[in-house]
Amino acid sequence: MEALLGNERLKSGLAAAFASDRLSHCYLLAGPEGSGKHSLARILAAAMECTEGAKRPCGHCLQCRKVLDGVHPDVITVDDPAKKTVTVEQIRQARADVYVKPNEGRRKIYVIPRAMDMNPAAQNALLKVIEEPPDYGAFLLLTDAAERLLPTIRSRSVTLRLSPLTEAEGLKALAERCPGKDPDARAAAWARSEGWLGQALRLLEAGESLAPETQSFAERFARRDKLGLTELLAPLERQKREQLIPLFQQWIELLSQALAVRAGQPGRWEAAERVGRSRTSGEALKALRSLQRALALLQGNVSPGAVCGALQVWLDVQE
């Protein structure tokens, strides 16, 4: 349970359910990238399989350890990262498989890490099994946008909504996990993370090293290269949400620094200096707002393809 930081109310509710073994057979784990959905899924799966009676999940019985190490044969991930969506075939396969008794566990648990990427046919197929699952069957649906699931699925699930960490919790966790990093860098990453530890860690890791796409964006934006920007954005349409979010966050940081340069302050990045020297404050601010809008859409339920398409139009307006 300690693997999930913060979220005290959620955890005490779950602890009570675990203690009395009142577990639902379908949970909806909702929260943005980096909010702890995967940690929570492991805790739930371990609690379902744990053989210790007193305090589930105990974390040290054989069943717990297998779940936590990701090698439990009855905890099955339903996902193919090569595919854009979760298909009806994948769900049908899980549905057929759930009627085969567990190998060694008390439960047979299906984890769907991108539940929001199930198309309506897949969702309907899932609905059939969560309406009447075998006693031992359980489904953990991870999603960044609960509203993209059918109301019928939501009404048959227990929704666990993750909360952002407080600043004190977040900074403490960053200090523990990244003791070698400069405290200022940790604070800066935290400030841009919106309270989600996973995002702060990613930002901290990316650190001061700029993505090649950020270098290209800075160069092309600085020289008003309209075609170049289109060529940069087009292939990004096929990237995953979780790859684009940190990239757009870096572009936002770049433009914020460019604005500071315009205001006479030094930019931390050379690329920001260049943008600040080449474009007006008004232009940098407009682009910054466009990117913030794109980021918000991406963190909502809009597809990377649609967001990149819209961004091309918005950035075009500046030219």
Query: Binding to Zn ion by residue 8, rule CB under 5 A?
Result: no
Q: Are 75 and 87 in contact (CB under 8 A)?
A: no
State how far the Cα of 260 lies from the Cα of 208, in Å rounded to an integer: 17
Nearer to Zn ion, 68 or 310 (CB): 68
Query: Binding to Zn ion by residue 64, rule CB under 5 A?
Result: yes
Nearer to Zn ion, 1 or 294 (CB): 1
> Which parts of 246-305 interact with Zn ion (CB under 5 A)?
none
Nearer to Zn ion, 61 or 206 (CB): 61
Q: In the complex, what is the shortest distance from the CB of residue 107 to Zn ion, in angstroms, rounded to a whole number?
A: 13
Q: In the complex, what is the shortest distance from the CB of residue 97 to Zn ion, in angstroms, rounded to a whole number?
A: 24
Q: In the complex, what is the shortest distance from the CB of residue 52 to Zn ion, in angstroms, rounded to a whole number?
A: 5
Query: Binding to Zn ion by residue 58, rule CB under 5 A?
Result: yes
Q: In the complex, what is the shortest distance from the CB of residue 58 to Zn ion, in angstroms, rounded to a whole number?
A: 4
Binding part of the chain for Zn ion, among 64-72, 186-194, 204-212, 281-289 by CB under 5 A, reads 64-72
Q: In the complex, what is the shortest distance from the CB of residue 50 to Zn ion, in angstroms, rounded to a whole number?
A: 3
Nearer to Zn ion, 37 or 56 (CB): 56
Nearer to Zn ion, 23 or 58 (CB): 58
Q: How many residues bind Zn ion (CB under 5 A)?
A: 5
Query: Binding to Zn ion by residue 75, rule CB under 5 A?
Result: no
Binding part of the chain for Zn ion, among 51-59, 104-112, 280-288, 300-308 by CB under 5 A, reads 51-59
Q: In the complex, what is the shortest distance from the CB of residue 110 to Zn ion, in angstroms, rounded to a whole number?
A: 20
Nearer to Zn ion, 64 or 141 (CB): 64
Q: In the complex, what is the shortest distance from the CB of residue 63 to Zn ion, in angstroms, rounded to a whole number?
A: 6
Q: Are 207 and 185 in contact (CB under 8 A)?
A: yes
Tokens for 155, please give them.
């009404």
Query: Binding to Zn ion by residue 50, rule CB under 5 A?
Result: yes
Q: Are 158 and 128 in contact (CB under 8 A)?
A: no
Residue 315 has, within 13 A of its CA and on its CB side, a CA count of: 27
Applying CB under 5 A, among 15, 17, 23, 61 the residue interacting with Zn ion is 61
Residues that bind Zn ion (CB under 5 A): 50, 52, 58, 61, 64
